[in-house]
Amino acid sequence: MPTSAAVELSEPDVRPVHAPDESSEVAVRTAGLTRRFGDQTAVDAVDLIVPRGAIYGFLGPNGSGKTTTIRVLLGLIAADAGTVELLGQRMPRASARVLPRVGALIEGPAFHPYITGAQNLRRLDLSDATADPSTSMSRIEAALARVGLTAAAGKKYRNYSLGMKQRLGLAAALLQPRDLLILDEPTNGLDPQGTREVRRLIRDLATDGTTVLVSSHLLSEIEQVATHVGMMSGGKLVRQGTLQDVLADGAPTIRVETPDLDPALHVMQQLGLQPATAPDGAITARLAAVEVEDVAAALVRAGVRLRRLNVDRPDLEELFVTITGEGFDVLR
């Protein structure tokens, strides 16, 4: 699928520049996106597809090329090859038309330290040609309230804690109603409570119809909100799809606790499984073609006494390791 998209998009005239993007079902689409820094390929032929309305978890360890991809999406750095479409329009050509509808948090918040949080938002809002000046103040208040920063609005940014800075960055992304939010590591520096709030915020925004692209190196955090995921490793997008599809990649593992070790091992081998004995005495095996209920039935039929039997699905992090064959560490 990505390949055919790449071919289609490399024809410059397939899509008129002023095509009404409401028809587009895809909020973010890149085709063959590549960016090199010196001899290092930071982003390597990435075909990203973020459907409208999705919460897309953009995952990968630090240094896997997520932030570079996001910077290219937003027109901050140029691509060496490939194309980018945001909300159906080509970037960076359509920046002025598209970016007002995109809220972004890029590699952490950044504001002027010697003015207050509210003044910083005011400055950004004044800079936005598409922001209604008559509603500026009320929109700033609403954005601050939405991220729980009302009490600190009049405080100098310099005196903000890391979590408050992160919240102000989110508030800036929410100054206007957005069709697309691109949030790069939005929970950095937040405590567990703050992380939960951000997750709820993302869900609320998605309910309102906003597409959210959220990058993170904390896979478990994303697993709880994402509808779609893309996994980056070493500059390549190694897997992409709905969360369900991607999770289904991972074969579940059955875990059997029984005093009758040998008969159990024998039954499972006969079913075509490759059981192993865990250090605590339990038997584990990956379930590929065999269903768990069939294993249970076979064990019972053979008179194996079961103390406990359960199935573990691998989470995103385990999957990532399986897919890339790498640990979830900084690769470069």
Partner 1 sequence: MSFADTRSIPLVDGAPKRYRGAFARLYRGEMRLLLTRRRNWILLAVLAVVPVFIGVAVKLSDPGGGDGPQFIGRITGNGLFLVFTAITVAIPFFLPLVIGVIAGDSIAGEAGQGTLRYLLTVPVPRGRLLAVKTLGVATFTALAVVLVAAIGLITGALLFGVHSLVLLSGDTVGIGNALLRTFGVVVYVTIALFGLAAGGLFISTLTENAIAAMAATVSIAVFSALLDAVPQLSAIHPVLLTHHWLDFGELLRSSISWSDLTSWTALHLAYAAIFLSLAWSRLTTRDITS
Binding site for partner 1 (CB under 8 A): 18-22, 71, 74-78, 88-89, 95-97, 99-102, 104, 106-115, 119, 122-124, 126-133, 142, 145-146, 172, 174, 177-178, 205, 208-210
DSSP codes of every residue in 247-305? HHHSPPEEEEE-S-HHHHHHHHHHTT---EE-TTS-EEEE-SSS-HHHHHHHHHHTTPP
Residue 289 C-beta-side C-alpha neighbours within 13 Å: 4
Please give the backbone phi and psi of residue 196, each rounded to the nearest 5 degrees, phi first: -60, -40
In angstroms, what is the minimal distance from the CB of 122 to partner 1? 7
* Least Cβ distance, residue 55 to partner 1 (angstroms): 15
Report residue 116: phi and psi, to 5°.
Answer: -75, 170
- Cα(268)–Cα(294) distance, integer angstroms: 10
Q: How far is the CB of 42 from partner 1 (least distance, A)?
A: 10
Instruction: Tell me the residue type at 268.
Output: M
Of 40 and 130, which has the nearer Cβ to partner 1?
130
The least distance separating partner 1 from the CB of residue 221, rounded to whole angstroms, comes to 23
- Nearer to partner 1 by C-beta: 116 or 258? 116
Nearer to partner 1 by Cβ, of 140 and 254: the residue is 140
DSSP-assigned letters across all residues of 87-141:
TTEEETTTHHHHGGGEEEE-SS----TTSBHHHHHHHHHHH-TTS-GGGHHHHHH
Q: CB of 10: closest distance to partner 1 in angstroms? A: 22
Give me the least distance between CB of 11 and partner 1, in Å please: 20
Question: ∠261-267-268 over CA atoms, to 5°?
Answer: 90
Q: Which is nearer to partner 1, 111 or 328 (CB)?
A: 111
CA dihedral 289, 295, 301, 306 (to 10 degrees): 170
Token pair recorded at residue 39: 């001899």
Identity of the residue, 8 or 132, whose beta carbon is nearer to partner 1 in the bound complex: 132
The 8-class DSSP code of residue 15 comes to S
Tokens 């703050």: give the residue.
Answer: 194
Question: In the complex with partner 1, which residue's Cβ is closer, 124 or 162?
Answer: 124
**Closer residue to partner 1 in complex, CB, 131/323:** 131
- The least CB distance from residue 110 to partner 1, in Å, is 3
